[in-house]
Amino acid sequence: MPETLLRAEDLTVRYGPVTALENVSLHVDEGEIVALVGANGAGKSTLLKTLSGLIRPAAGTITFRDTDLARTQAHRIVQAGLVHVPEGRHVFPRFSLKENLLAGAYTNDWKNAGKRAEEIIESTPILARRAGSTAGQLSGGEQQMLVIQRALMADPRMVMLDEPSMGLSPVLADQVLELVSGLRDRGVTVLLVEQNALGALDIADRVYALATGEVLYSGSSAELRDDPQFADQFLGVVSADAERRAQESGHH
């Protein structure tokens, strides 16, 4: 049995009067890619922010290995091996790619960071051919590669990625998901937030589906792919029945 790295139980998170998460439980085992899907406002980013210590839950527990995350400061959570890549590809636009990568290494091993940053740039073709640029000159897809690689500079055991493929062309989105998929081979466990549920199912071992702050479905990717209700709600697949009814009534 693989070790459970991260376990959240009965998390409730409120923003003032708004309940963003209610009794959410999930776990991620070492070596897994777990996807979190759900519509806008479902609570996906709130969940990642809570797991990384940026938001404190009103109730519930979070453990990462032996650490109680609900009582741990965000920078200590990074040191414990859990790194969060927030939505929106926040690069330092006027700085070089190498300088951007170095910003991810502030918690550990500063001595070798420069060499590691150069190795990462050289071994990532998309970044290597833009090595002379500043981060602000990169395309969205290139910036996404950069922020994922920046997270790896902290040498994490697990990364949480918030919508890395958002707004990218299908080709670039695939490249980003390929990079994410490759993290597992490098021994990095992944919790991936994706609105592109089809892409998520392709690379994830297991999936949790959130709706209005609650877990509606969870299971292996294979199970959920074959679940017509999940497909209807999260894959944007119009069921054959619904299509027939739409045609009969003259709509498409």
Ligand X SMILES: Nc1ncnc2c1ncn2[C@@H]1O[C@H](COP(=O)(O)OP(=O)(O)OP(=O)(O)O)[C@@H](O)[C@H]1O
Q: Which residues bind ligand X (CB under 6 A)?
A: 15, 18, 20, 38, 40-46, 195
Residue among 40 and 249 whose Cβ is closer to ligand X = 40
d(CA 18, CA 22): 11
Q: Which residue is nearest to Mg ion (CB)?
A: 45
3 state DSSP class of 54: coil
Residue among 14 and 98 whose Cβ is closer to ligand X = 14
Min dist CB 191 to Mg ion, Å, is 13
- 38's contact among Mg ion, ligand X, none, with CB below 5 to 8 A by partner kind, is ligand X
Min dist CB 64 to Mg ion, Å, is 21
Q: Which segment (6-14, 38-46, 128-136, 233-241) binds Mg ion by CB under 5 A? A: 38-46
50 binds Mg ion (CB under 5 A): no
Q: CA 173, 227, 39, 37 torsion: positive or negative?
A: negative
d(CA 58, CA 184): 32
Which helix H or strand E contains 39, and what residues bound it? none
Residue among 18 and 171 whose Cβ is closer to ligand X = 18
45 binds Mg ion (CB under 5 A): yes
Q: Which segment (17-25, 45-53, 70-78, 124-132) binds Mg ion by CB under 5 A? A: 45-53
d(CA 78, CA 108): 10
d(CA 138, CA 121): 13
Structural contact between residues 199 and 43, judged by C-beta atoms closer than 8 angstroms: no
Min dist CB 32 to ligand X, Å, is 21
Min dist CB 44 to Mg ion, Å, is 5
Min dist CB 57 to ligand X, Å, is 13
Q: CA 214, 31, 179, 75 torsion: positive or negative?
A: positive
Min dist CB 86 to Mg ion, Å, is 9
> Within positions 71 to 100, which residues make up the interface with Mg ion, using CB under 5 A?
none
Estimate the share of the chain in helix, then strand, then coil, as percent rounded to the nearest 5.
Answer: 40, 25, 35
d(CA 240, CA 238): 6
Which residues sit at the interface with Mg ion, rule CB under 5 A?
A: 44-45
